[in-house]
A and B are shown apart, each in its own frame.
Chain A
Amino acid sequence: MAGTAALGQGLSTGSGFRRRRRIFRPELFLRGMSAGYVGLLIVLPIVAVSVRALGGGLGRIWSDLARPEALFSIELTFLIALLMIAVNSVMGTLTAWVLVRHRFPLRSVVNALIDLPFAVPTVVTGLMLVTLYGPRSAVGSFLSERGIEIVYAKPGIVLALLFVTFPFVVRAVQPVLMEMEPEMEEAAATLGAGRLTIFARVVIPSITPAVLTGAAQAFSRAIGEFGSVIVVAGNIPMKTQVAPVYIYGEIESYNPRGALGISVVLLLGSLAILVILNLIQRWGRRQDVRG
């Protein structure tokens, strides 16, 4: 749909191109300014880090990454992020479904509060979880008597990531569900499809690109998350040290050299997710056209 709009605009502006030039005479100036800003603030820092990392040679990066603490932190980061998107994809889709299809008291209040995790500073998120599940709290001491540790352990990281990424899937799926015509589902029901078949054949295919988009955004946020994780899980090597915390530790101990390799790995991860997101969106648009 967005593709058609852009195309239409391209056609309509084509005829008025000469006039448009007069409206935005400083066209080239705007273009140069934007490219310059992005170049200075985004491209140059990334290039600088990459050049510095490669300056010591690939062997150097490899030996930095091969340290057990470094390997562990990367593994932990990606594993917990995967666990988080599995849970958030299901719960986020369900939340979107309930918000769109069901009426209940205070629905619009709940709908507004979904964005809350985006508004709460990450340090505050960490503090909240420590307050609720920490050793000084009622819940925390109840759980630790039964041998379940949340704060300064891996479950704390999972909770923090679930919190900060909660809105992504909900907000990606919600508009798609809202636009979905109930006629399709009703037609399927008239043709004798059971509810399970309807959900599997009609609902799931329509929302899959949106769920994947939300999940990819959540994943990208999760592998970079720092503030909430360092407060909730601390900085315990080989136990709770995720990649961003490892990088922070290396910088803190005046060893920026050791942070370079992992930083590049995280940057490559982010780039890969951006490319995947782009592919998902294209795939979703093609599905739109077919439907």
Chain B
Amino acid sequence: MNVSALLGVQSIDYVALLPVLLTAGGALAVLLADLFLARERRTWLVWGTLAVLVAALIAQIVLWSERSAAVRYTFCVPGVPGAAPPRSLLPCSYAVDDFTLTLQTLALAATVLVVLMAPRRFDVPFGEYHFLLLSSLTGALVLVAARDFVTVTVALETLSLPAFALVGFGRRAGGEAALKFFLMSIASTAVMLFGLSLVYGATGSLYFSQVYGGLLRAATLGGAPAQLAGVGAVLTLVGFGFKISAVPFHFWTPEVYAGAPVPVAAYLSVVSKAAGFAGLILAVALAFQPYAHSLGILLAVLAAATMTVGNVIALRQRYAVRLLAWSTVAQAGYVLVPLAVSKSSQVSASVAYLVLYAVMNLGAFAVVSAASGSGAGHLPSGGELAGYRGMYRRRPRSAVALAFFLLCLAGLPPGVMGLFAKVAVFKAAVTGDLMWLAVVMAVNVVIALYYYLRWAAVLFDVSMFGAAQLTAGAPAVVAAPVRARTALAANLAVGIAFALAVVLSFWPNPALDAVSHWR
């Protein structure tokens, strides 16, 4: 094979790349628009960002409508001229299949909600904020479509680097949180790159399909290459473990979420986490499949530790954002469960859980973000749980929505959506002969009920105001329910998330069957 066949111009399918190109181009356009826009018109940037995201979602719809024809592959290494094998057998860097489309749509829609949920008087530089958000999203979109480890690594860094700066926009401890996030992230990336170098050494390729073949060969031959590849695979998973905040790599999560602006915390907990899971799923299901059995045991232990630690520590949290942070750690444990089953057919349960989790978690963050801010009746940086006492009086609709999202996260009716998600994961664990993990998960679901329900109950606790009204005539200045105003866009975000949660509670099939036919 000559050099230009390997390194030369690869054919590029621009339609397949359209969502990524629109997002990346939109990021630049927003940054440039900020430079030439008068200060008082900077709210236009929000609508510009939303327009970019909607355009990318329309491109997604086009790709969805034609997905049944054939999977689109692009950035393929051209084979030897004359003996052209079918596209699906060539090593390709980018694929648009059910998995890619589901998670790209999830990331785009979630970012729409993140942009909308900005609190009133959001104190960040608008141009840079939206530019960084769209840049990070570009990384997420490429990561879920990547089919080789170089693209995965570059996309993971494109996802992470803007996120550090976004965290730094937090007003109270943003700088410290950003530094912690940065240091933890580069350490995990270094470990991951070391692992990848071992995998490359043992298999001679970084394309998923060829790593699969190489590992199969190494596993049958045994000896040093097989050991090297095994160590490499485990170290590679560490990098993703950090992104999804699985338990030994979760320490940054509560600090960073609490230090970051609330919408950025929502972004990290949904888009960044979903992208990290996408990388993990791709690596485990496509590349490291020959080692699925031993990696499965590792992932099962990781899942059990993650959900247990997350739930137990969440019990003692007093701040809303910190509680949500530990809750996302615990939820990541549930998503890991189907991956521990060493059959790739169980991947659909993980993806379904991710989609349903994204809706309910974004909803909860949207309410917290709308309630945060400065001024009367607002809770700075999400506030303490005590600040939500009697929220039903001040903002009945927000309180009902938040209670619904919390019930979804807990998996209780009427939030049946969360129940469907948990049942799908249970089913995967039971069919995969992981009974012990199913039991651990059941215990954890019960532990989690306590803190979700406690918060939901506080919302409707009117005892404080009831007492004030009994002492008629007394000036109840402090306790008087302040009808706080929230930004229109933030309420819109809550409304959209609520509508999606209700629809998915009645009809969860789009999420549950999204990738059921994926390899």
- A and B are partners in one complex rather than unrelated chains: no
